[in-house]
Structure 1
Amino acid sequence: MSFVQDMIAQYGYLALYLLLALGIVGIPVPDELLLTFVGYLASLGMFDYSLSVGVSLMGAMTGMMVSYWAGRRLGKPALRKYGKWVKLTPKRLRKAERWFRRYGPWTVSFGYFIPGIRHLTCYLSGVSGMTQRKYLLYAGFGALFWCLFFITLGYFVGTRFDFTH
C-alpha cells in the first residue's frame, strides 16, 4: 500500500486513474484501499471529492474496456490455455459460462465488490459476446456505485476520526 500512497502523493489524479485502470485489468493493486484512501484525502481537502469520483470512474472504465476487448479478441482459447494460472479449470469454465449466460449483466455490475471476480467478469463479457452497449451500461453502473461507495467510505471515516495525532 505504501507504493500506492507514494504514487498518489507524487502524481495525484493521474496515478489514481492509471492504478485503477491497471487494477481492473488484473495487475495487483489494492483497489478498494486505494479508493478509500482517496476518499480520506478528499476529507482532508487534498483531493476534490467529485473529481476523485470522476477520475476513478474513468480509470475503472478504461480497465474494464481493456479486459472486455481482450475477451472479445482472445476469447475462450486463451482461457483454455492460461486459465490454469487463475485456477480456471475446464469444469470451472463451463460452470462460469452457465452462470454468466444467466446472470452476466448483473454479475458485471456487482462483481466489482468481489476482488478477482471483477477482473474475470469483464473478460467473460467479451468472451460471451455481450454487446458493447449492454456491457457499458451494466459495467458503468457497477463501476460508479463501487467508486462512490469506497470513496464515500474513506471520506466519512476521514471526517469522523483525526488520524494526525
Structure 2
Amino acid sequence: MKKILIIGIVASGKTTFAKRLSQKFSLPWYELDSIVHHNTATGRYKRSAEEQFEIIKEIDIKGAWIFEGTDRDSYQCLYQMADTIIFLDTPLWKRKVRILTRFIKQKLGIEKCHYKPDIMMLKMMYKWTRDFEQSRNSFDAKLNRYNEKVIRLRDSNNLDVTKGTRLS
C-alpha cells in the first residue's frame, strides 16, 4: 500500500483514520477538502476541477500518499491512481452522533474547523448524509468497478485493514 484513497461520507472517521494510517506506514496524507477549498489571506475559495487535478498530479509525482475525503466528481482520478481504496462504511447512527458531537465541540472551541460551524452547516451535514444513503447503490456500483483494490471497513478505529471486507 503506497497510494491509499480513504473515502467515506461526513463523520465516517476519515481524517482520524488517515492520520493514524499515515503514522503507521510513514506516508504523507492530504485532506481533499483542503485541495478543493483553498485558504488565502483574503478568505477561502473553491478551486476549479482543473486546479484540483494539477495539485493531485503534483502530489502523485512525489510518490506514496494517502488522500481522504468524500466522493466528489472533481477528483475521480484518484480511484485509478490509488493502489488501495478504503471505504469507511461507518454505521449511520454513529455518523449522526458524530456530526452533532463535532458541531458542539466546534461551537465550544474544542475542535477546529475550516468552515463556519453554524446551524446551516449542521443541517447540510445531515442532508449530505441522507443524500449519500439515498444514492448508496450508485456509489457501491462505482466501488465495484475497482473491486480488486477496495477494502470496506465498518470500524474506523481498527487500523488492521486486513480485517476489512474485500469487494469482489
Same fold (TM over 0.5): no
**TM-score normalized with structure 2 length:** 0.31
More strand by share: 2
More helix by share: 1
**TM-score normalized with structure 1 length:** 0.32
